[in-house]
C-alpha cells in the first residue's frame, strides 16, 4: 500500500470535493432577478459571521438579497483590559461598521459573551427574534465547536428551525477549522474570489480582535476550500439535508 502523504491526502480530498461540487452545480446558480431572499447569518460574537461567510454575504447582497448579521452577544468578554460594558460598546460599533461595508444589517440577540445560555426562555426568545425576521435562509455555526458560545448559537438556531416547522434553508459554516470548528464536511462551496476584498475589509473593521492575525488563518482556508470547490478562493458550508434547498451563489 502506498504511504499516505499530506500531498496525496490533499489531492484525494480535492478530487472528491470536486465531484461533490460538480454534482451541486445545478443547485448552486445565481438566482434570477426578482427572487429576493431574507438571509440571516447568526454568530456567537461580532466578527463570526463576517469571518465565516463575509464573501458569501457580499455576493448575496450583490444579487439583491437582504442580509442580516445576527450576533448572539456583543463580544463583552473580548477586549483585554476593558470592562464588559466597554468591550461590548467597542465591538458593537465594530460590528455595525463591518455590516455597513458588507451592506448588511446588524441585529443583536441580547446574550452576554462567555455566559450564553440554553434555557427554555432563551430558546423562546431567540425563536421569536428569528420569526420576526422571517428568513428563507439561515447560516450558523457548526455545532461541534470548541467555543461554548458557538455551540450555543448553533443550538438556538437549530431549535428555532424545528419550532418553526423546518421552513428555512439551514446551512452551517466553519470558523477556524481545526482550531475551533471540528469534523466539518462541506456540501456546498461559494466562490468568493471577487468578493474576498470586501470580506477582508469587514473583518478588519474588528480592530480590537487583531484582525491581521486571525485573518491570515482564513486566507489559508479560502485557498484550501477553493482547491476543493474548483476556484481560487471559496467559503464552505454544510446544508442540513432536511431543510429546504435555497440555491447559494454559484
Beta strand spans in the chain (E):
38-43, 66-73, 105-111, 137-141, 169-173, 188-191, 234-239
C-alpha angle with apex 112: 108 to 118, nearest 5 degrees? 95
Reported as a single tens digit per residue, the pLDDT across 158-194 is 999 999 999 999 999 999 999 999 999 999 999 999 9
- Quote the CA–CA distance of 60 and 37 in Å, as a whole number: 9
Assess contact for 186 and 236: CB atoms under 8 A.
Answer: yes
Q: What is the pLDDT of residue 30?
A: 52
Assessment of whether the complete model's pTM goes beyond 0.75: yes
Reported as a single tens digit per residue, the pLDDT across 43-70 is 999 999 999 999 999 999 999 999 999 9
Q: What is the pLDDT of residue 247?
A: 84
Q: What is the pLDDT of residue 24?
A: 35
Domain ranges of the chain: 37-239
DSSP string computed for 150-162: HHHHHHHHHHHHH
Q: Which CATH number fits domain 37-239: 3.30.1960.10, 3.30.420.40, 3.40.50.10320, 3.20.20.100?
A: 3.40.50.10320
Assess contact for 50 and 203: CB atoms under 8 A.
Answer: yes
- Quote the CA–CA distance of 197 and 159 in Å, as a whole number: 34
Low-confidence ranges of the chain (pLDDT < 70): 1-34, 250
- Where does residue 119 rank: exposed (0-12), middle (13-18), buried (19+ CB within 10 A)? exposed
- Which H or E element spans position 33? none
Amino acid at each position: 500500500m502506498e504511504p499516505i502523504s499530506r500531498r496525496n491526502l490533499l489531492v484525494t480530498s480535492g478530487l472528491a470535493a470536486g465531484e461533490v461540487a460538480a454534482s451541486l452545480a445545478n443547485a448552486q446558480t445565481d438566482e434570477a432577478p426578482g427572487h429576493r431572499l431574507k438571509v440571516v447569518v447568526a454568530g456567537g460574537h461580532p466578527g463570526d459571521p463576517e469571518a465565516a461567510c463575509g464573501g458569501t454575504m457580499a455576493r448575496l447582497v450583490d444579487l439583491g438579497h437582504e442580509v442580516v448579521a445576527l450576533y448572539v452577544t456583543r463580544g463583552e468578554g473580548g477586549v483585554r483590559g476593558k470592562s464588559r460594558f466597554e468591550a461590548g460598546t467597542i465591538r458593537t460599533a465594530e460590528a455595525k461598521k463591518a455590516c455597513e461595508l458588507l451592506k448588511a444589517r446588524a441585529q443583536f440577540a441580547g446574550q452576554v459573551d462567555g455566559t450564553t445560555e440554553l434555557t427554555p426562555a432563551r430558546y423562546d426568545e431567540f425563536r421569536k427574534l428569528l420569526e420576526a425576521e422571517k428568513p428563507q435562509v439561515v447560516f450558523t455555526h457548526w455545532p461541534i465547536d470548541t467555543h461554548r458560545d458557538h455551540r450555543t448559537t448553533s443550538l438556538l438556531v437549530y431549535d428555532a428551525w424545528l419550532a418553526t416547522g423546518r421552513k428555512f434553508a439551514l446551512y452551517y459554516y466553519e470558523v477556524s477549522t481545526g482550531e475551533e470548528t471540528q469534523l466539518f464536511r462541506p456540501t456546498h462551496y461559494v466562490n468568493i474570489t471577487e468578493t474576498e476584498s470586501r470580506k477582508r475589509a469587514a473583518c478588519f473593521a474588528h480592530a480590537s480582535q487583531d484582525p491581521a492575525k486571525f485573518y491570515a488563518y482564513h486566507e489559508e482556508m479560502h485557498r484550501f476550500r477553493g482547491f476543493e470547490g474548483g476556484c481560487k478562493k471559496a467559503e464552505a458550508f454544510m446544508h442540513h439535508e432536511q431543510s429546504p434547498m435555497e440555491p447559494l451563489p454559484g
